[in-house]
């Protein structure tokens, strides 16, 4: 996303140099639902513009997992997070190691029985530990066909491209619709310029200020930037 937009050059008047223009066709699925999006750099909304529409990653309160687990996921996550403390094999956890995964599953099952919780299975343990998103072959095929169709339209210019987001709900029947996402004028990736208001305590150290900027989603920074700061500090 960011790299394609950086490659798309503009002149002093803001007009796009189409010799550097590379469209993006993106698709994804989760269970019976699928989506596709066409990004035309500097012309419509990029990924950063619509990040607010995506739900936050599921997390579980540590106090609940430790004292009053109510879900199978609470038991699994608690055992997994304590791997370094118990370390039964004397080595770092490897999610592709069957012995490691079975150990987490068995300890999670014991904890679930202790709190009278049902639903802990090996497949659920793998899903929680690896963050596996369920995939359905028919939904994948439908979404792949939609993305391929958009790619052919962009290559041949025989039909207008998707404007610019399509979502399919395929649980009981195939339903869906298209939506034109609004481009943010202050987007840090594809924005048209301008300032982004940012407030910090006058008592903040330089490191605290930089880490706060990295943690702010509006600037489009992430974990690699935080790791770089940590290495510089050390």
DSSP state at residue 123: H
Rounded to 5°, the CA angle 104-106-110 comes to 115
Residues involved in catalysis:
63
End-to-end CA distance of the chain: 31
Instruction: List CB contacts of 72: < 8 A, sequence separation 6 or more.
Output: 108, 112, 117, 118, 119, 120, 121, 124
H helix and E strand count, the chain: 9, 4
State the Cα–Cα distance between residues 112 and 69, nearest whole angstrom: 8
């Amino acid at each position: 996303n960011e790299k394609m937009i950086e490659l798309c050059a503009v002149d002093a008047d803001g007009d796009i140099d189409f010799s550097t223009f590379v469209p993006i066709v993106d698709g994804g699925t989760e269970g019976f639902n699928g989506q596709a999006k066409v990004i035309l750099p500097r012309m419509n909304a990029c990924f950063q513009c619509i990040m607010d529409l995506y739900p936050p990653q599921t997390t579980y309160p540590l106090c609940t997992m430790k004292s009053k687990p109510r879900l199978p996921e609470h038991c699994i996550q608690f055992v997994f997070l304590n791997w370094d403390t118990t370390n039964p094999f004397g080595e770092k956890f490897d999610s592709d190691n069957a012995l490691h995964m079975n150990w987490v599953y068995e300890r999670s099952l014991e904890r679930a029985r202790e709190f009278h919780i049902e639903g802990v299975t090996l497949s659920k343990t793998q899903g929680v530990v690896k963050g596996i998103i369920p995939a359905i072959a028919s939904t994948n095929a439908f979404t792949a066909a939609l993305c391929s169709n958009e790619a052919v339209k962009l290559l041949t210019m025989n039909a207008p491209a998707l404007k610019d987001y399509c979502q399919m709900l395929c649980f009981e029947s195939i339903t869906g619709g298209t939506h034109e996402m609004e481009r943010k004028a202050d987007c840090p990736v594809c924005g048209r310029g301008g300032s982004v208001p940012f407030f910090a305590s006058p008592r903040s150290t330089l490191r605290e200020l930089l880490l706060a900027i990295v943690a702010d989603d509006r600037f489009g920074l992430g974990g690699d930037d935080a790791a770089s700061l940590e290495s510089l500090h050390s």
